[in-house]
Structures are given as structure tokens and as C-alpha cells.
Structure 1
Amino acid sequence: MGQPDTSPVPKKDSMGMDYIPVYEGEDNDDSGAVTVSPARMQGLGVRVASAERRALLQPVRAVGQVAVDERRIRDVAPRFEGWIETLHVSAVGDPVRAGQPLFTVYAPELVSAAAELQIAETLAGSLGAEADAQARAGAERLAGATRERLANWEMRAGSGARQQFSAPMKGVVLERNAVAGMRFGAGDTLFRIADLSTVWVLAEVYEQDIARVRPGQPATVRLDAWPGEDFAATVDYLYPTLDPATRTTRVRLQLPNPDGRLRPGQFAQVALATGEAAPVLAVPDSAVIDDGERQLVLLAEGEGRFRPQAVRTGRRDPEWIEILDGLEDGARVVVAANFLIDAESRLRAALAGFTADDAAVQVYRTQGVFEELYEDGAVSLTHEPIPALQWPAMTMDFDLASPALVEGLAPGTPIAFEFEARGPGEFVVTKVEAVAR
């Protein structure tokens, strides 16, 4: 309770109270700057990175489904009626190669067309040079018309009443409506085959993000079936309509699928790469502390000293945040353990502010006895117990706001006085009044 004092070693004051340890570089100030020893930095896992200029990627995120590329679907539909005699591919999902037989049919129209062709060819061949030119031309026209009819049916001339239908391309059977022994009509779809070497992803993009999406943009697709693996895709088409119920527009992405791992119907998470190419000042996402009221980073000033710095942030990408104000290019900021350092920084700033505020408002009043006035202007007073400070009755030294306060007082004079707490161990008497015994 004496005059403010410091000591290079631990000690007690005249009342037996321990001095409070204060370490070099760790003095409290209202800026909240803190100093961390190298050993403690290693224990906390403190890491530092530089603010730098870079282009920010702002992905538009959407969900969608893998779908068949509609441009790679073929139907197998005979152009005549008939019956299926033999089924060579009998299950949906079976892979087929181009030219592989799918089924064999019997068709009466093929029988009659084959007979017509045979008669016309025989007639044209039997007519000699001396035969009527008109008759010969008629036989040739009949044979040509029959061949043309078979070509329109996509049948080969001379193949007879039974024909094999083959897969028009390599792919997978999506639909099979053919059953052995069934009758089919002209135009009935008996097989649907799709080439899955390339697939689509149909994603739903929210209305506010439409302006940031355009054909040709790269995208990344993730599937629940293959966790942790990214599939590269490209925006192929932006549909011209908006779903009024979900306020989304469909976006079509194209993905190569050479190994067939992507299956139509799979759920997909899509990230469309958008953003400006111009570099901006940015820091790693983990460097910014945002408590809802303020945004700041911790500047590394060297030799273990860190200082909180308020910043104004802009755009974000998955790993970086744009800094609009508060930092310079190359500034070193804490990117790991910054929450721990920030908590200590805020505590120290609060303690410094608490001490400064209290020094201006804490005033205590008590009674006692004037004991002595020292040459340096301090005074010795005996006072009654002061509950607010948990002080017992005792004699202690005080500073005087002015020597005039005790002018004319003799040692042993009863007094009432007021004093202020202006700092650790600093108590200043501001008012003194003599009182009757």
C-alpha cells in the first residue's frame, strides 16, 4: 500500500502482500498487443502467412443428377410388322457392341418383297436383246422399286423372310420391350440403347447466380459413390427457363465417362468455377476472426509480438478472403491458433481499459488521523477500515493532490478525507477536513 514500486525479483510490500509479476513485452495496453514466447508459440501451434495478391475463385454451388447424354441414345424400331423368333439380348443393362445381333424376326412383308424381287430379276434376265425394250425396262423398274422398299425397311435384298436386327452402336441397353414370340407393329420401339462413354450432369442453379454461369466454364463434380474424388466437367448448356417453384435454372454439364463409373440417376454436388481474373489482396480464410461485430486479423510484428488489426473484407473463395482495407501487401498474419491469441489480446486490452477507467472514477471517503507530512509531499495517515477495498484500520502513506490540503494541521489531528485510486498502488488524497473529537 506504499508508493508505486518495482522489483527485479519477487518480493512483498510492508504489509506482507506479494508484488504482481509483469514480464518484459507483456505490459497491458489498450491496443491488445501481446507477446508470446517461442516455446509457447510452438505449443499453441502458431502459424503465420503473408497477405498476397491473387485471383479469387468464387464457385457457384449446386446439386444435380447424372443423366444420359440424350444425343447418344438410339432406338431400335423395325419399319414393318412381324414376329420376334429369337431374342439374342434379353436383359436391361446388358452392354452391347456395334453390329451385335439383338433379335431375329419373321415378317410376311419380307417374304412378298423377296418374291417380287426374285421375279423381277428373273424376268429382266430372261428377256433377250430382241425383246421389247418397254417390257425389259418395266422388269428393271420393278426390281429397283423392290430394292428401294427393302432399303426403306433397312433390310438387305436377298436375305429372305427372316432378318437379324443388330445394335446400331456400342452402348448399354436402357429399355427392352422385345419378347420372344411377340408380334410387333411398324415403328414399335423394341430396344433403346445409350452410349455412356460421355454423360450429363443436370444441376439446379439459383436465380441470383445465373449471371455468373456461362457455357464453357470448368466445373468440379463430386458423387456420394466416390467420396473424396473430384470429376472434371464443363458447362455445356444453360437452359432458357426458370422453375417458378424452386427459383432455379437447370444447367447441363458434360463429363467423360470412359470407365463407366458414372451412372445415370446418381446424386451429384457441383461447384462451378467463377470469379474475376484480376488479382486482389487476400489472406487465408483462417486468418480472419469474425465475431459478428468486427473483423480482424492478428499481425505478426516479429519477436513473438502480435497485434490485432481491424480489416474490411470482400469476396471469398473456399480458401481465401479479399481484404479491402486494413492491410498492406506482404503483411504477416496469424493463420493458426489466432483465436487463442485473440482471446488473450482482448483480455489484456480489457484489463488496461478497466484500470484506466477505474482510476478516473474510484473515489473513497473515510475518517482517520493526520500523522505526518513528508518533504516529498506525501503524507502519512491513519484511517478506519475501508470495506470497499477490504482494508483494515491501519496507518499508510498517501500522495497529496496539493500540499495546501493539510496546511495548518498538526500531527494527531482527527480528519475526514477522500482519496482516489489512480493506478496500481497509487492512492492520492484529494480532500481533507478537520473534525471534532
Structure 2
Amino acid sequence: MKRFGIWIALALAVVAAAVSGGYWWGLQQVSHPSVEMPAAITAPAERKILYYRNPMGLPDTSPVPKQDSMGMDYTPVYADEEVSNNQVKISTDKVQKLGVKTEPVLSRKMVNTVRAVGQFQFNEQRFSTVTTKFEGYIEKLYVNSTGQPVKRGQPLMEVYSPELVSAQEEYLIAWNGRQSLSNGTSESLLGVGQLADSALKRLRNWDISDAQLQRLKKDGKATRTLTMYSPANGVVLEKTAVQGMRFMPGELLFKIADLSRVWLLADVFEQDIALVHVGQTVNITVNAYPGKELKGKIDYIYPTVTSETRTAKVRIVLANPDGILKPDMYASIQLMSGHDASVLAVPDSAVIDSGIRQVVLVQLTEGLYEPREVKLGMRSDGYVEVAEGLSEGENVVVRANFLIDAESNLKAALGSFGEHSSHSSSLPEPAETTPAPVTGHEGH
């Protein structure tokens, strides 16, 4: 009994201490009203679910929880995840799993390299022919082989023509008569002068040079033969003249080609024609001379395309002072074409081309993307010019953009670009579907 009394006394002491402590704490709260009471812990607000989306990205939604045919739960779409109709939102973990990579839109110089092959040809503007305007015979040939090089003014042949001899004699008679009748009447001087002028004009019409006419006056006698000279530098391309042959007025005797400047006719593919312009400088390499680089300029672009090869002829003019470039010799050309100023460009892989329009995915924030229709320009070295639709500094998806398309049902978002005005939302309307049946027995 004594021990029981001790335990009762201890219990009463503990109760008294607790009561006094509570009384002291209450006084402290009254005397120090600035001390705040601990705030009540509030439970987190529930996120509002708008609908449930197909887990495989199919255009199927449900207002209530549901499973697909494979037993996978539909993914909830919350109100704070709602984005604009033309935007696509992907969770951060899925972005990492897909390996999404972006690059900024930057200004760069777009330069394309056009390559083609061609053949050297004679410069048609540097052909010369040797013919006569009178009938005659070839007395002697000085140049008697095709391909022989000749210089301007070099003797080619000597010809005999009765008409030429008669014209020379008439001129000499008229010229000598004018000199002998220097003190005669005006009528006689006029007649002799007209006869001399007529004979002189006849000789000049036959392309007799002034030097030969001066020699005729100086010698005072007609020459039996007339020397024909080369009209230009070059090589004899054609020769029909044979010693002793008779020739008629206008008959071709020599054809001379000047090879100091030649043409290169290159075949440029149809898709590269827009990059080629008259006046462009072209780098040329020839298999016959390895390591030797030549330069020429585009002189003319022919107006037709060869249907078999889908190529157009481009004429390039270049100097050939040493005569090393031969007609029909093959050559390769290379020219650089592009914009002088920098233009906005993105990698080729950033463009999703449907065949009707071209779209890129612009990263707005981490995991939020906006499909943007763009107008493209020239392509070069893995990049494509963007004429409209983007601004410098914007980030575009360059890798896994097609996976984003499949993952987030991007096709529905692209439908809002105007194909049908009624499809204004990238997300389909929630379908009225019944809840999926609950598996198992009730009450378990």
C-alpha cells in the first residue's frame, strides 16, 4: 500500500507540472501578441483533367479513364498543360528519349558548286575564208597542206586571170592618158579620169589591195599573176586549192581558223541552269594537262535543252595563246554560284516536306514546339535558304522531328494551317465514349 501511494503522488506531480506549463505558455501568447501561430498545412490543389489521350499518339481521346486494345492506360491531359492549337508539347523525359536536337536559325552565305564537262571547239567568230571574185587559175601554191599554221599577210598562192590582166591594162592606159593630157581640155581630162576611176574601182572590187595598186602605178606595167595573202593568223582548216586548178568566182579555196581564243561547249544539267549566268568566271581542268588550271568566262547560254541528257549547252570563251587546247578535247568545268549577301538558312534535316508545303518545328521553350510553314530558296552544303517563315535566332528541330510528329500527333496540328478552315484545332475533340469495363469481380 505504501508503494501504491508513492506512484499516485508522482502522477499528480506530473499533471500539476503540465497544467502550470500550459498556463505559462498562454500568458506568453497574451503578453506577446506578435508571435504568430503555426500556419495550418494546406493540401495541394488537385490538377484539373481535361481529357485522356491515346498513349500511342493516335487521334483518339476520352473524357474518362480508358485503356486501348493493348491494355495501355490513356494519358491524362491537364488544364495547365493545354497549349495553343498550332503548338505541340512533349514531356521533358520524352524529349530526351527521342534525342531531339535543335539549331538556331543563322545568316550564312549560300554558295553552290556547279560541275560539268564539255569539249573545246573552234571559235566560229574567228573563221576566215579565201575566195576570189574573178575566174582564174592557180599558178603556184605556197601553202599546200591542211593544218599548216599561217600568219596574217603570208602569201598563200599565185593566180592568173585574163580578166585581171585586162583590168590592169585598162587602168594603166587611163592613168598614163591622164598624165599625158595634163594640159588638155577639161572635157578630155574628164573622160580620161572617168576611165581611170572605173578601172581602179573594178580592181578594188576584186579585192586587189592598195599596196598592189601602188606597185602597179610604180612599175607601169600589168603583172601576169596576182599573189593572194592570208587574211588572219591561224591554221588551215580546209584547203581545196590545188596547183594548176581552175577556180570560179566565190569558190572556197582556203578556210583558216584562229585558235588564239577557243570555245568550250559545256553540258550543264537542267537543275543547275538557274545558277549559271553570262559573265561568270569558270575554272577549267583538262585531262591532257594535269595540274594546269585554266580560267574562262561564260559567253552565251544556248536556248534549248537536249531531251536525251536533260542538259543545256553553255559556251565558255578562253584564251589559247600557246595553242595547247585542241578542238574536240575534253575538259571539266567548275563554277561557284550563290548570293553575295548572307541569307537565313537552316539544315536540310529541319524541313518536313509533304510535297505540297514545307514545315519546320520551332522550339518555343523546353518541350514546346510550333510547326511553322516556310518558303525555301537555294540549297548548299547541307543547308537550305529560308526566304519566309523564320527569324534569325529562333531554334528549329534538326533531329527527331519526324519522331515528334508521330509522338505528339503533329499531323492534327498541321491540319490547322488552312487545308480546311473548319479544322482549326490541332487536338481532336474528346469523343463520347463509354468507360472501359472494370476487370475482376465486384467487391474484391
TM-score computed with the length of structure 2 as normaliser:
0.51
* 1:75 paired to 2:138: no
3-state SS of paired residue (1:78): coil
The letter for the 2-side match of 1:125 is Q
C-alpha distance in 2 between matches for 1:323 and 1:163: 69
The letter for the 2-side match of 1:148 is K
* 1:100 paired to 2:154: yes
Aligned residue number for residue 32 of structure 2: none
C-alpha distance in 1 between matches for 2:149 and 2:276: 36
What is the CA-CA distance between 1:61 and the residue it aligns to?
2.2
Aligned residue number for residue 177 of structure 2: 123
What is the CA-CA distance between 1:101 and the residue it aligns to?
0.7
C-alpha distance in 1 between matches for 2:121 and 2:149: 17
**Structure 1 residues 72 and 127 mapped into 2: Cα distance closer, same or farther (>3 Å)?**
same
Aligned residue number for residue 146 of structure 1: 199
The letter for the 1-side match of 2:155 is P
- The sequence identity of aligned pairs, in percent, is 44
What is the CA-CA distance between 1:72 and the residue it aligns to?
1.3
C-alpha distance in 1 between matches for 2:205 and 2:110: 58
C-alpha distance in 1 between matches for 2:382 and 2:152: 53
3-state SS of paired residue (1:145): helix
> Retained in 2: the 8 A contact 1:114–1:161?
no
Matches within 5 A, 1:329-344: none
* 1:64 paired to 2:125: no
Deviation sequence 1:252-294 (CA, Å, 0-9, x none):
11111111111111112222321223347999xxxx9xxxxxx
**Structure 1 residues 199 and 128 mapped into 2: Cα distance closer, same or farther (>3 Å)?**
closer
Matches within 5 A, 1:298-377: 320-322=381-383
* 1:211 paired to 2:274: yes
**Structure 1 residues 68 and 208 mapped into 2: Cα distance closer, same or farther (>3 Å)?**
same
C-alpha distance in 1 between matches for 2:344 and 2:303: 36
How many residues are matched? 252
The letter for the 1-side match of 2:132 is P
3-state SS of paired residue (2:337): coil
Aligned residue number for residue 253 of structure 1: 316
C-alpha distance in 1 between matches for 2:119 and 2:275: 21
The letter for the 1-side match of 2:289 is W
Specify the structure having the higher radius of gyration (Cα): 2
C-alpha distance in 1 between matches for 2:175 and 2:231: 30
> Retained in 2: the 8 A contact 1:86–1:181?
yes
3-state SS of paired residue (2:299): strand
**Structure 1 residues 277 and 323 mapped into 2: Cα distance closer, same or farther (>3 Å)?**
same
Aligned residue number for residue 275 of structure 1: 338
Match of 2:142 among 77, 80, 88: 88
What is the CA-CA distance between 1:180 and the residue it aligns to?
0.9
What is the CA-CA distance between 1:173 and the residue it aligns to?
1.5
3-state SS of paired residue (1:98): coil
3-state SS of paired residue (2:279): coil
3-state SS of paired residue (2:111): coil
The letter for the 1-side match of 2:248 is G
> Retained in 2: the 8 A contact 1:281–1:322?
no
The letter for the 2-side match of 1:58 is N
> Retained in 2: the 8 A contact 1:206–1:248?
yes
* 1:188 paired to 2:242: no
The structure with higher relative contact order (CA 8 Å, sep 6+) is: 2
Match of 2:187 among 121, 126, 134: 134
The letter for the 2-side match of 1:83 is Y
What is the CA-CA distance between 1:217 and the residue it aligns to?
1.0
**Structure 1 residues 99 and 324 mapped into 2: Cα distance closer, same or farther (>3 Å)?**
closer
3-state SS of paired residue (1:188): coil
The answer to which structure has the higher helix fraction is 2
What is the CA-CA distance between 1:323 and the residue it aligns to?
8.1
C-alpha distance in 2 between matches for 1:95 and 1:128: 49
Match of 1:220 among 273, 283, 292: 283
The letter for the 1-side match of 2:282 is A
The letter for the 2-side match of 1:91 is S
3-state SS of paired residue (2:168): helix
What is the CA-CA distance between 1:78 and the residue it aligns to?
1.4
TM-score computed with the length of structure 1 as normaliser:
0.51
C-alpha distance in 2 between matches for 1:137 and 1:128: 11
**Structure 1 residues 133 and 270 mapped into 2: Cα distance closer, same or farther (>3 Å)?**
same
C-alpha distance in 2 between matches for 1:164 and 1:228: 46
> Retained in 1: the 8 A contact 2:110–2:385?
no
Aligned residue number for residue 391 of structure 1: none
Structure 1: tracts of 5 or more residues without a match:
1-28, 33-51, 289-313, 330-437
Range 228-237 or range 156-165, more displaced:
156-165
C-alpha distance in 1 between matches for 2:130 and 2:385: 61
3-state SS of paired residue (1:271): strand
The letter for the 1-side match of 2:383 is E
The letter for the 2-side match of 1:231 is L
Aligned residue number for residue 262 of structure 1: 325
What is the CA-CA distance between 1:57 and the residue it aligns to?
3.0
Superposed CA RMSD in Å reads: 3.3
The answer to which structure has the higher strand fraction is 1
3-state SS of paired residue (2:112): coil
> Retained in 2: the 8 A contact 1:315–1:321?
no
The letter for the 1-side match of 2:236 is V
> Retained in 2: the 8 A contact 1:80–1:186?
yes
3-state SS of paired residue (2:176): helix
The letter for the 2-side match of 1:173 is V
C-alpha distance in 2 between matches for 1:264 and 1:115: 46
Deviation sequence 1:353-388 (CA, Å, 0-9, x none):
xxxxxxxxxxxxxxxxxxxxxxxxxxxxxxxxxxxx
C-alpha distance in 2 between matches for 1:323 and 1:250: 27
C-alpha distance in 1 between matches for 2:181 and 2:130: 41
